[in-house]
Amino acid sequence: MSSPAPKSPELSDKSKKYDRQIRLWGEHGQTLLEAATICLVNVTAVGCETTKGLVLPGIGGFTVADGSTVKEEDLGNNFFLDPSYLGKSKALACMQLLQELNPDVNGDYVEESADYILANRPNFFDSFDLVIASNLNEQTLLLLAERLWEVNVPLIYCRSLGMLGTIRLQIREHCIVEAHPDNRQFDLRLEHPFDALREHLEGTEVTSKVPWLLVLHKYLNVWQKQQTDGAQTPRNYKEKNQLREVIREEMKTDEENHEEAIKAVNTAFGAGQVPKGLKAIFEDDACEQLNKKSNVFWIMAKALKHFVTHENDGHLPLPGVLPDMTANTDSYIALQQVYRQQALQDADQVYHKCQDYLKQLALPADSIDERSVRLICREAAGLTVIRGTRIAEEYEKSSRLLPLVEDNEMQGNLTAYNFALRAYERFLSECGNIPGECTVEQDIRRLKSIAAKMLSDLGMHASISDDVLHEICRYGGAELHAVSAFIGGCAAQEVIKIITKQYKPIDNTFIYNAITTESVTLKL
């Protein structure tokens, strides 16, 4: 009779509740999420949907800021307002209904508009990890964006109007350690084996039960002896085929590890070099010139650079991660231990260099812990730094905008719609009413005039078609909850990326047209 399978360790209540998302961003990502606080400025359907996407996975806390009250027209497009709140504070209604989704999240509200807060206590926003704003007029948007840029608080600005939606991320600098690339290449160092790996490979007999990596190493040596030019690894399709044939000639039937070795010929070589993106980080002024205010990311990046340049012959620290392989348990674990031990040694050297830099800068030794260094060493090949632009720059003359607007054929009408939405916001500031709400034809003319002046001020010889402006006015300021839910879901995803410092967020504008289901990401 077979023995019962071992029981899996008991999960805590929190782990059970958030199990699926923890599989995406790990316990450390969840911890960062639960420690974060955000502010929602302006209660709209898209704003509520964005916040919903953060309350459900367990954001630490949220504050809703809105000085208006719930009206009849609000009930038709926002599921997070109900008739019992008619005439009451929108901020209160939104906060209470959102908090019902997850009692573990702290909710708060302020019955003040963004304009009032910016005029009377602008430092209100300074303590938040991120601010979400939606459907503001141009003047309020620019004031809020400038204030947040000054105090280095990221801003996600969402627009939802009829069948159109946009997301704009404003962030000064965002350093990503865990980028989670789609096609991660395992760093096996077969072409430059470290001492412990060389000893293991040469001291282990190759059988049908060992991992394919040992098989590939054995026949790589055979292939190398056949090369008259002294090549150490196959460099092109022809040479890779030659190596595959060397393995096939010696392979017996039903040797899975040999089959896996043949498949791995394409991907087993070439990792461990410094990629272009990491080289740019190493050459960045922030990495070269550390100071007391330097982000710990840059201190670790400089230590990493020192290790690569001076201690590891130009190679990255070993990640110590192996792919799955068909093998008996003992031989796979033995190989795994070789890689893990070397990865720990590499990370330890980088950690000690970090401590040297902290000492030179008179910063506390615990500013950087060993776990963070091990993580950055494991993910070194994918390190990414995003430097954003101010929203206000879009309203100034910029060469970056010119090709985007004048190349509407490439981008479809999405760029034109984005500009039309900006003209809509200026209309709100200048005219004080929503275009298309009352006198449609008159508002279309005024909106067209505003759009033309905006483009002229930017030095652009382009125009927005009447059809696009008619579409904007036709909506009369209305949000469709389905579109707002889509944009809100996308925006919440970007917020989580920023807070957990994992995955690459948009850089920096996302535009969506629900009529044609087209979308585009632009850097404005």
- DSSP H or E stretch at residue 359: helix 329-360
Tally of residues, the chain = 524
Residues 6+ apart with CB under 8 A from 491: 46, 50, 53, 132, 156, 158, 167
Give the separation between CA 441 and CA 470, rounded to whole angstroms: 9
Q: Six-digit token pair at 450?
A: 């505003």
427 and 493 both lie in a single domain? no
Amino acid (one-letter) located at 297: F
Q: Can you point out the beta strands (E) in 177-291?
A: none
Amino acid (one-letter) located at 225: K
Task: Tell me the CA distances in angstroms from 237 to 205, 220, 266, one per residue in order.
Answer: 29, 15, 9
Residue 446 phi, psi dihedral angles, 5° rounding: -65, -40
Q: Six-digit token pair at 390?
A: 């101010």
Q: Is residue 8 part of a domain?
A: no
Confidence of residue 12 (pLDDT cuts 50, 70, 90): low
Residue 155's Cβ-count burial label (10 Å; 0-12, 13-18, 19+) is buried
In 36-135, alpha helices (H): 45-55, 72-75, 90-99, 114-120
Confidence of residue 46 (pLDDT cuts 50, 70, 90): very high
471 and 493 both lie in a single domain? no
416 and 506 both lie in a single domain? no
Contact yes or no for 443/435 (Cβ under 8 A): yes
pLDDT of residue 270: 83
| Position with higher pLDDT, 477 vs 214 | 214
Collapsed DSSP state (helix, strand, coil) of residue 130: strand
Confidence of residue 132 (pLDDT cuts 50, 70, 90): very high
426 and 442 both lie in a single domain? yes
Q: Report, as an integer, the average pLDDT of 132-148.
A: 91
Give the separation between CA 246 and CA 326, rounded to whole angstroms: 20
pLDDT of residue 408: 46
**∠ CA 434-438-444 to the nearest 5 degrees?**
70
Share the mean pLDDT of the chain: 87
Domain with 517 in it: what CATH number? Answer: 3.40.50.720
Contact yes or no for 272/342 (Cβ under 8 A): no
85 and 164 both lie in a single domain? yes
Residues 6+ apart with CB under 8 A from 39: 62, 63, 64, 65, 125, 128, 130, 131, 132
At residue 332, does pLDDT exceed 60? Answer: yes
Q: Is residue 398 part of a domain?
A: no
Query: 453-459: long-range contacts at Cβ-Cβ below 8 A with a sequence spacing of 24 or more?
Result: 454/395, 454/419, 454/422, 454/423, 454/426, 455/405, 455/419, 457/397, 458/395, 458/396, 458/397, 458/398, 458/401, 458/402, 459/397, 459/402
88 and 18 both lie in a single domain? yes
Collapsed DSSP state (helix, strand, coil) of residue 222: helix
Q: Is residue 145 part of a domain?
A: yes
125 and 163 both lie in a single domain? yes
Residue 402's Cβ-count burial label (10 Å; 0-12, 13-18, 19+) is middle
DSSP code at position 233: S
Give the separation between CA 487 and CA 49, rounded to whole angstroms: 8
Q: Is residue 330 part of a domain?
A: no
Q: Is residue 434 part of a domain?
A: yes
CB atoms within 10 A of CB 8: 6
Contact yes or no for 511/404 (Cβ under 8 A): no
pLDDT of residue 10: 56
471 and 484 both lie in a single domain? no
Tens of pLDDT, residue by residue over 259-288, are 989 998 888 888 888 999 999 999 999 999
Collapsed DSSP state (helix, strand, coil) of residue 283: coil
418 and 509 both lie in a single domain? no
At residue 134, does pLDDT exceed 80? Answer: yes
Q: Six-digit token pair at 430?
A: 């200048």
Where in the sequence is the domain holding 432, given as residue range(s)? Answer: 409-475
**∠ CA 193-280-287 to the nearest 5 degrees?**
95
56 and 103 both lie in a single domain? yes
Minimal CA–CA distance to 356: which of 347, 348, 365, 345?
Answer: 365
| Last residue within a domain, chosen from 441, 456, 475 | 475
Q: Six-digit token pair at 141?
A: 């948007």
At residue 381, does pLDDT exceed 60? Answer: yes
DSSP 446-497: HHHHHHHHHHHHTT------HHHHHHHHHHTTPBPHHHHHHHHHHHHHHHHH
| pTM strictly above 0.95 | no
Confidence of residue 486 (pLDDT cuts 50, 70, 90): very high
Collapsed DSSP state (helix, strand, coil) of residue 361: coil
427 and 512 both lie in a single domain? no
| Position with higher pLDDT, 417 vs 497 | 497
Give the total number of structural domains in the chain. 2
The answer to whether the Cα torsion of 455, 456, 462, 468 is positive or negative is positive
Q: Is residue 160 part of a domain?
A: yes
455 and 504 both lie in a single domain? no
Q: Is residue 332 part of a domain?
A: no
At residue 411, does pLDDT exceed 50? Answer: no
Q: Is residue 177 part of a domain?
A: no
Tens of pLDDT, residue by residue over 62-79, are 999 998 888 888 787 777
Task: Tell me the CA distances in angstroms from 212 to 218, 330, 522, one per residue in order.
Answer: 10, 14, 43
